[in-house]
Every structure is written in structure tokens, then in C-alpha cells.
Amino acid sequence: MADAERAAGAPQGGGPCVIVDPYSSGALFAEPLTGHGVPVVAVVTGPRPPEAYASSYRPQDFAEILVYEGDLEPVVERLRELDPRAVLAGCESGVELAERLAPLVVPHRSNVPELAAARRDKSSMAAAVATAGLPVIPQICTDDAEEVAAWLEREGLAGADLVVKPPKSASTDGVIKLAGGKDWRAVFGRQLGRTNQFGETDDRLIVQKFVTGTEYVIDTFSHDGKHAVVDVCAYRKVDNGPHMAVYDTMRWLPPDDPAIPGLTEYVLGVLDAVGLRFGSAHVEVMGTADGPLLIELGARPHGGGQPRFNRNATADSQIDRTVRWLTGGELPQGYELLLHQMCVFHIAPRTGTVSGTAALEALRDLPSHHFSVQSLKDGDHVRATRDLVDSLNFGFVILAHPDEEQIRRDYEAVRAAERLLSIEE
């Protein structure tokens, strides 16, 4: 294994660990923490989880569940009574509340309060990174179409490919690519005021230059302002008709991949720029011809249950490192790739009624099949894949094998099986 450090100063006993919105990968904290004798308390931002995360919620895993109803004080008062060892965001919907609670309850194990907006709002995030002297994608965030028009003219981006997206959300929800900037005003007007997957109103929108390259995700764990990389993956995305950035694959990279040193240097600078000092981060970066550029950062673990799959590829995860730190264990400073691994996301080319789903069942017999979710049965209505939420609802396959060529062959088999599906509009 990579060089390790003793978790000096990490608590050996103490109170519970608090997870704010323990959904998606945040649901994975409870079992290992409880197994190490650490009780787990949930704070939820509403009486019900966002619909996209409802299936991952396990209320039975928590010693206590506190519901935040808009008044911070009773939640803070109860958490101070519990004397927790950490307050962690479970998923994106819990980031803002976790960032408000941690400095009040566990100030020695929290992020820089003054930069909290930069860890959730993508516009504030880019501004903080630019202030730190790191390059970012040219963009504007506003609710005023005329301000966008003036910015496009000023930046020489009239007629350029653009992206319109919400400053807050996740999973490519509401992300729209506009080739040549065509109809940007209509799209801007239609998306402004939209309710996103977290039930929040998109009262401002980001308009940014569309940049090309290889998209990477770098997962990290930090303590006391020291950052370490847990894994690096490369995304491949495709256009699905009018829908941009539809996930095709996510491939785990070995630590000696030539792209990683430059990515790591940039990402560690990003973490410092947004004031992240403790916990997990999920950082998406476009590797362009001119170097890495931040797409966005999530101050929480990689979603979609990725830590379970990362454990298969590397014998480690953001969840595992968090638990080790909180229980006095040792932390590696890097990672090893023990198996080649790829996530293949199913893609529905159109909306309609599906049949022929038995073709997907045979994927479990592929030599590199590790795990899969096929959520459809004949007669179900499927929506054309537009974003990551659609992909996860349709299903995906995790391929893992010592032979990278076997994974490539099995990837082609997955796409061949999809072509046997019939989707009638």
C-alpha cells in the first residue's frame, strides 16, 4: 500500500458522527461507523428525502434523526448536547446545512466558514478558484438575459458553443449544451425559475463557454487542511440527441497515469481555494489542451454508491478513510488500482415503452461483470436519457477484471444488448 500516516489527534472515543442528508453514498457511513462502535445521528433537511435519493435512505441505521425545519438553533442545541466528533454532508442536498452546522458544533473539524458559498454555489466556487490564481472556465451567473448578452459580446463568445446550467444542483440536472449558442435566450428564459431535483428554484443561471477535453473526477479526503487523493476516474460522455453530457462510461485510472500529477496539483489548489479543510470532496475537472479547468466541486462523497465500487477496485474509499480518521486508524497518502474497472451507464435513445429487457439479464454472465442494476421490465415507460439521474434510474453495469482488454470486449457486449431493446414511442 501507499505510505500511510497515523491519524494523530483523531478522536479515540467521543460522541456520534452526524450525517446531514444521509442519502446516496452518504447512506454508506452508518454501517462501518457503527461497526467501530461510533453511533450515527442523521440530520435531514426535510421530512422526506429528495425523490432522486429516496431509495437509498435507511432511517433504521441511525440512533437519532433530527429534522431541520428552518430554525438552526434547536438543531445546534441538540447536537452540542450529543458532542459529536464530526458533522458530514451525506450528499449534495446536505452540503449547505452541514457547512452551517459544523463551525457551530465542531469548529476544530470544519471548513472555512467564510468560503461556505464556494463549496456549494458553482459561481462562487469558480470565483474563489480564480481569486486563488487558478484558471477557470469563462462564465457568468445572473438572472438577467441582457447581462448575459453583454458578457458574450465582451468575451468574444457570440456564436460560440455554450453551456447553460444551474449554480446549484448535481448529476447534470438542468445542464444544456447549445451548439453555436443557438437559441440561448429561449433556453435561458425557459430554465430560469425551474425547480431542480432538490426542490430548489433555479433563480439564477450560469452561462459558460463550452470547453472540450477529457473529463476527470478526483475524489479526495482531507483533515486539518491536508488533502489526499482517494481515486481518479475518467468519464466519457456522449450526446444523446439534444441532450449533452450523457454518461457513457466512468473508468478508474491507475495512479501512474500520466494525467494524474497535473490533475492532482490543480485539484489540491482548488480545495485550498474553496476553504475545504475536513471531509470528502468530489472534484470534476476538464483536462483541456491548455491544462485542467474546474467543472465543479462537491463537498461530500462521490455519489451513486461509488465508494462501494471504489473499494472493489482499490480496497479503499472516501467512506473508509473517514471512518479510519474518526477512529484513530492510519490513512494512505495515495491509492493503488488492484483491478481494471469501468462503470457502463445504460442509455435510452428515446422515450417510450420498452420491451426485450431479457437481453440485459445476460450481462450478468459477462466475464468481467461485478455488479449491475437493470431497473426495467417489459412494458415499463422509459424516458430518453438526459442526465445522470436518468442513467441511474435506467441502470448501469460495473465491469472489473485483471485484463483491461476483457473489459473493453464486455463494454461492447453491453451496448450490443441495449440495441436488442425495443422502445416504442
CATH of the domain at 167: 3.30.1490.20
Same domain, 323 and 222: yes
Closest CA to 251 of 298, 300, 216: 216
Residue with cell 433530527: 66
Q: Which residue has the higher pLDDT, 204 or 392?
A: 204
Same domain, 286 and 305: yes
Q: Which residues contact 272 (CB under 8 A, 6 or more apart)?
A: 132, 225, 227
Q: Among residues 312, 332, 352, which one ends one of the domains?
A: 332
Q: Which residue has the higher pLDDT, 291 or 304?
A: 291
Q: Do the beta carbons of residue 271 and residue 222 sit within 8 Å?
A: yes
Task: Show the CA angle centred on residue 87, arms to residues 81 and 90, nearest 5°.
Answer: 135
Give the domain extent around 398: 340-424
Q: pLDDT grade, residue 225 (50/70/90)?
A: very high
Q: Which residue has the higher pLDDT, 146 or 376?
A: 146
Residue 114 lies in a domain: yes
Instruction: Give 286's strand partners.
Output: 215, 293
Angstrom distance (rounded) from CA 96 to CA 111: 12
**Across 177-181, 196-200, 292-296, 337-341, least confident range:** 196-200
Q: pLDDT grade, residue 392 (50/70/90)?
A: confident
Note the pLDDT tens digit of each residue in 148-172. 999 999 999 999 999 998 988 766 6
Residue 133 lies in a domain: no
Residue 404 lies in a domain: yes
Same domain, 118 and 246: yes
Same domain, 155 and 200: yes
Q: How does DSSP classify residue 198?
A: T
CATH number of the domain where residue 360 is located: 3.90.1170.30
**Across 113-117, 131-135, 301-305, 375-379, least confident range:** 375-379
* Rounded mean pLDDT, 240-268: 89
SS (H, E, C) 129-177: HHHCCCCECCEEEECCHHHHHHHHHHHCCCCCCEEEECCCCCCCCCCEE
Residue 127 lies in a domain: no
Same domain, 113 and 225: yes
Residue 121, Cβ neighbours under 10 Å: how many?
Answer: 19
Total domains in the fold of the chain: 3
Residue 128 lies in a domain: no
Angstrom distance (rounded) from CA 256 to CA 127: 31
Same domain, 199 and 223: no
Largest distance between two CA atoms of the chain: 60
CATH number of the domain where residue 224 is located: 3.30.470.20
Q: Do the beta carbons of residue 347 and residue 248 sit within 8 Å?
A: yes
Q: Which residue has the higher pLDDT, 421 or 194?
A: 421
Q: Among residues 314, 332, 350, which one ends one of the domains?
A: 332
Closest CA to 178 of 136, 141, 207: 207
In the chain, what percentage of residues exceed pLDDT 70? 94
Q: What is the predicted pLDDT for the residue at 96?
A: 95
Residue 261 lies in a domain: yes
Distances from the Cα of 374 to the Cα of 36, 199, 392, angstroms = 33, 27, 9
Same domain, 197 and 223: no
- Most confident segment among 51-65, 164-178, 386-400: 51-65
Same domain, 200 and 217: no
Residue 424, Cβ neighbours under 10 Å: how many?
Answer: 8
Identify the three-state secondary structure at position 219: strand
Report CA dihedral (328, 329, 333, 339) to the nearest 10 degrees.
Answer: -150
* pLDDT for residue 352 is more than 60: yes
